[in-house]
Amino acid sequence: MSNDEKYVYSLVRIRKSGSQSLVQMMTSALPESRIYAMPPAPPLADMGIDFFEQLRRIRRTKKRLWKLFRTSSYPKAWIYLNHHLKAGDIVSGHFHYAAPQLPDWKLRNITVVREPVERLYSDYRYCRQSYFQRPKWRRWYLAERLKIAGNGKFQDYIQYLHSRGDRFANPYIGYITGGKAVGNPYEFLKDNYFHYGALERMDIFTNQLAIKIGRQIDPIWKNKTKKSGSLDLEEFDQTKVDVLLGKDIELYRSILAETDYR
């Protein structure tokens, strides 16, 4: 098999940006391909999560890794995949660009972004719903971010993330570059991704992806978080959003401009 033929699809799934839709579209278009879903890594200890909740998440993640790959270690899970993958298979997860350790394979990276403030609001609504779905005794152990969303307004959520900008700022850049120090994230995206696009232009995204892989793909938008309230922000809140998501907004606009130009 030539190097050009030895490839797998790597779906870099950004939370609340149509990531579940991306998986469903790819699996429908490539029914012969196996899909491997890598569980997300447990949050770090400094993420404002109760100690016992942190242990519960670590235990759950290890169980999922063992069920899928017969190991409780992320490095060994990637070794397993590197050995068992076949050309055209799909690796999917809420992981960043640099996470897949598959030295024997060429990665066809694919990702979808969404208008950053809309994504942030959807994330707030998702966290808020998650908070109220838990029994009251469980809410005590949840991550601080979920507590803020559950007990506060969208503006309170923005304030919380803004005050911890080193951890939460510009998630698109983090996912797409893998934390690499790159001068121009948009150029990095163009150079290192097989396909990318915007959720708001899903029809264009799917049409162009279908041409690249030679299959029919029907646009899908799944797992929408119920929308409530308004996105109108006061000037003070907008300033915080610009600081929190400034680079993501710039990247999104570049992707949207390219999409509309095609």
Predicted confidence (pLDDT) per residue in 184-215, tens digit: 999 999 999 999 999 999 999 999 999 999 99
| Residue 171 located in a structural domain | yes
Mean pLDDT of 208-226: 80
**How buried is 109 (Cβ within 10 angstroms: 0-12 exposed, 13-18 middle, 19+ buried)?**
middle
Give 31's pLDDT tier (boundaries 50, 70, 90): very high
pLDDT confidence of residue 228: 52
Cα(127)–Cα(148) distance, integer angstroms: 9
Strands 7-12 and 90-93, how do they pair? parallel
Average pLDDT, the chain: 89
- Report the candidate in 117, 97, 149, 148 with the shortest Cα–Cα distance to residue 240: 117
Answer with the residue of higher pLDDT: 232 or 238: 238
| Residue 154 located in a structural domain | yes
| Residue 2 located in a structural domain | no
Cα(200)–Cα(181) distance, integer angstroms: 28
| Residue 49 located in a structural domain | yes
Give 123's pLDDT tier (boundaries 50, 70, 90): very high
| Residue 69 located in a structural domain | yes
Q: Is the pLDDT of residue 226 over 60?
A: no
* CATH code (residue 129): 3.40.50
**DSSP string for 134-145:** S-HHHHTTS-HH
| Residue 186 located in a structural domain | yes
Question: For 233-256, what is each residue's pLDDT tens digit?
Answer: 777 788 999 999 999 999 999 999
Q: Which long-range contacts (CB under 8 A, 24 or more apart) does 4-7 make?
A: 4/106, 5/87, 6/87, 6/104, 6/105, 6/106, 7/87, 7/88, 7/105, 7/106, 7/107, 7/108
Question: For 87-119, what is each residue's pLDDT tens digit?
Answer: 999 999 999 999 999 999 999 999 999 999 999
pLDDT confidence of residue 180: 78
| Residue 22 located in a structural domain | yes
pLDDT confidence of residue 3: 53
Contact 111, 89 (CB under 8 A): no
Full domain range(s) for residue 116: 7-261
- Residues β-bridged to residue 198: 113
- In total, how many domains does the chain have? 1
Contact 141, 50 (CB under 8 A): yes
Q: Is the pLDDT of residue 76 over 50?
A: yes
Contact 191, 180 (CB under 8 A): no
pLDDT confidence of residue 192: 97
pLDDT confidence of residue 45: 44
| Residue 1 located in a structural domain | no
Mean pLDDT of 216-226: 69
